[in-house]
Each structure stands twice: as C-alpha cells, then as structure tokens.
Amino acid sequence: MAAEIIHPHTADTDDPIDPAFALHRGGKMEVRATVPVRDADELSLAYTPGVARVCTAIAEQPDLVHDYTWKSSTVAVVTDGTAVLGLGDIGPEASLPVMEGKAILFKQFGGVDAVPLALDCTDVDELVETVVRLAPSFGGINLEDISAPRCFEVERRLQDRLDIPVFHDDQHGTAIVTLAALWNAAKVTGREIGELRAVISGAGAAGVAIAKILLEAGIGDVAVCDRKGVVHEGRDDLTPVKRMAAELTNKARLTGTLADALDGADVFVGVSGGTVPEEAVARMAENCLIFAMANPTPEIHPEVAHRYAAVVATGRSDFPNQINNVLAFPGIFAGALQVRASRITEGMKLAAAQALAAVVEDELSPTRVIPSPFDERVAPAVTRAVAEAARREGVARR
C-alpha cells in the first residue's frame, strides 16, 4: 500500500508523532551578517561609500573576490529536482527541503556555507547555462539529485567551463565513502583490495562512480549490473555512460544476471534498490563483504547478509557501518576552498577516501569499518588530505 501523504494545511504539525513538519516550518536555515551595522559609520563601511573601494579593487584584481567576499567559503547546492532521495522526479519546489538539509550539513560538518538552489529547468543546455551564470557568486558547485545519465554530462560540461570545483555528490561522495569502508573491510578480513572481485548492483550515477574509483584504487575486478544484468561489451542496448563502464570493467567477461555475477564474488555493492535473493547471496565467496546501501530497504537485509558476510554495511543509521555521504562532501569542499582549487581531481577523491579510512584504522572491527558522521576527527582529516592532494595535483591556487 502506498504511504500516506500528510499535507501541512490539514496535518497537526505540532503532533509529536510526526515532528518533521514542525521542524521544517519556516525552513531550516537563514542568512546572517558577519559584521555589525549599528551606526552610520558601520553602515558607510559595510555599504556605500566604503563598499565601492572594495568593488574597485576587485575589478582591478579579480582574485581579491576570494579575500573580500563570501566566495572563498560558500558553495551552491544545485538541483533540478529530478532524482530526489528515493522520491524520484518531484520537481524543484519539493526538492528544496532536501537542498536546505544539504546546506546545513555543509555548515555543521565542514564549516562551509552553502546556498540551496532548486532550478526550474531540466534541459541539460539550460541547466548548464543557468549554473554558469550563477557561478561568480560561489567558490564551488555541489550538484545534487539530478537524474542519470544527464548528471554525467551536466557535471562534465560545467567543470569544462568553470574554474571552481564542480562535484556531483550522488556520484563521488557515495564512491569515496564506499571505497574507504571497503579498504577497511578488506583489512578486517586480512585481504588487500587488489584480491577482491566486486559486483555493483546499479548502473546509475553512484554505481558508475563507485566502479571508477574502485578501479583507481586497484580492485582486482568489478562488474556493474543494471536491470537487464551484467553491463558488458556484447550488449547492444547500452547508453554511452554504460558503454564506457563496460569498457573499463568486467575483466572476467561475465554475462548473465546479477545472481550469475555474484557466484563466487567477494564484494556486493548495492546502489539500486530491489531485493537480491538469499540463494544468490549464499553463492558468494567465503568471508564476503556486503554493502547493501539502498534506503530505506537494503537490497540484502542485514539479518540475511550476516549469515554469509564477514562485514555488512548499509545506508541506514540504525545499522553499523553506515555509508553516509556526509562523511565526505563537507571536508572535500572545505579542503578545496581552503586552497582555492580549480577542480576536484581523482587524486583528491582518493586522498579523501584514504583519510576517511585512516580515522578508524586503529579501531577496526566487523562493525566498525567507517567512522560515524558525528566523529569530530572526520572533517579535519578529509579537509587536510584534500588540500594537500590539490597542491600535489597542481590545481591549488594558494
């Protein structure tokens, strides 16, 4: 049965049984001044005529915008509302509570200011042009909840045109946290990542990005599966993105269904939804690793997964080993902004994953392969690692 929709104009929004409406009333964020305006002198400095001197200086030396405006500490959280959480294409207005939530996570966990921008356009050309015109106000662009395969093109085209970081968190944030947890899960079972064969259920934004970063990290082999089975070069129904994934992955040349691919596999990574039959899980390798990350219902329920796996992770906060993007994106942007990076490179992503994994390297257990989002060591570690990697990669400008 479909979930009941509670409308705020009919619901009792103060009802403690459903406090979400009470929390969201009026929105979850506001804009505050960082300087006082208490008298005429302060007004003349914060606004005219004092502001004109700063504007003139920036016009003569554009890089000063980072020193004398919020640009160096602020990102735009941009969506078109086409792939919001598990809700799908719900439009820009309905996506705004999620974008506000993302913005407050940036501030809470990374000290980064963020502005939610829900755009009323889904055409790729219009979306790119709109963000390009908004970009002068921001030090980075976080793309959020844009449907695949459009999200790949939007990110690529924006990064080609802008000299600030463009980061699609649904792709790369998920991939970074997954890699960090997998590194540690392999250690818990006495293996290296290069010894593992992984199967990814889901060939959308997250699935393709996870496959790419696992390959960068040196995984033994990885196969990506969509609704029709293994993504391989012999299929004639692949999108350009899936074609690229087929060319990069599946050294074992697997074909067939997801269940076929899981036979003897060391790792399952689920970013697709649906349910994997227990008999398919039972055919995975001994001491396998199961990362079933669909929300709210994992592809393999932890109770089932624990019958076969040495380490189990999900996307949920009520089970151990939550794969949560908030472990990555605040520190990644904080580090990139700190050094005024022009982009976020593959090396910076790997550095973020390594730093995240290292936070708990002395505390590893089957139920602790990734830190809690509330571990105060996370954001500083990721920030430092990303800033250092940006300098090594030659994309830092200070």
Annotated binding site for a divalent metal cation: 144-145, 170
Residue 82, classed as helix, strand or coil, is coil
Largest CA distance in the chain: 75
- Pairing of the two strands 288-292 and 221-226: unpaired
Of 71, 102, 212, 349, the active-site residue reads 102
Q: Which pair of tokens denotes residue 295? A: 């929300």
Phi-psi category of residue 60: left, alpha or beta, with phi > 0 → left and psi -120 to 50 → alpha: alpha
Q: What is the DSSP letter of 231?
A: -
**Which residues partner with 322 through β-bridges?**
314
Residues placed in the known binding site for (S)-malate: 295, 324
Active-site residue flag, 68 = no
| H/E segment holding residue 76 | strand 74-79
* Two tokens, residue 95: 């996506």
Contact of 76 with 112, CB cutoff 8 Å: no
Instruction: Report the Cα–Cα distance between both ends of the chain, in Å, rounded.
Output: 56
How many other C-beta atoms lie within 10 A of the C-beta of residue 103?
23
212 catalytically annotated: no
149 with 239: CB under 8 angstroms?
A: yes
Residues marked as catalytic: 47, 102
